[in-house]
Amino acid sequence: FISIIQVRLVMKAHSFVRENVPKVLSSVKEKAGPVPIPRITQYLYFLFAPTLIYRDNYPRNPTIRWGYVATKFAQVLGSLFYAYYIFVRLCIPQFRNSSQETFNLRGLVLCIFNSILPGNVLILFLVFFAFLHCWLNAFAEMLRFADRMFYK
């Protein structure tokens, strides 16, 4: 989790530097008045906005729809409970039965293959839906971020 956050912050810092260094260099080369340095509030907004491309200004919604935010956070919680249900009902019983028998490689491989579909595929779908759809849309709404073309 910490590695994922660090990679995200490095990618955002790279985008910030890549977008601002050419502006600063061209301004210094032309000696055209003050150097266009972005404000700290613009950078902080960029750190929390669900985008990896830095811009000085983003399109913003006029209001925050708090019902929409609550719905998205409820969907994240629902996804967590559903993932727990998948593990408890479909994955853990496979391994609980094998722990009572003597160890054999065939039984272990069968347990792993029987839990691949619910354990991996459904959990990956839930992670995609909960984080990339619900979590990012909730934060985009709270930040009044209007450009919601995440999947394009």
| Residues in Cβ contact with 35 at an 8 Å cutoff, skipping those fewer than 6 apart | 24, 27, 28
- Residue 13 CA, chain-centre distance (Å), reads 17
DSSP structure class, residue 31:
T
Q: pTM of the entire structure?
A: 0.71
Please, what's the b/e burial string for 25-64 (b: 16 or more CB within 10 A of its CB; e: otherwise)? eeeeeeeeeeeeebeeebeebbeebbbeebeeebeeeeee
Distance of alpha carbon 52 from alpha carbon 11, whole angstroms: 7
pLDDT in tens for each of the 152 residues of the chain? 789 889 989 999 999 999 988 888 887 787 767 777 888 999 999 988 888 888 888 888 899 999 999 999 999 999 999 989 888 887 777 777 666 777 778 877 877 777 777 777 888 899 889 988 899 899 889 999 887 765 55
**Reduced DSSP (H G I as helix, E B as strand, rest coil) percent helix, strand, coil of the chain, to 5:** 70, 0, 25
DSSP structure class, residue 128:
I
Q: Domain spans of the chain? A: 1-58, 60-151
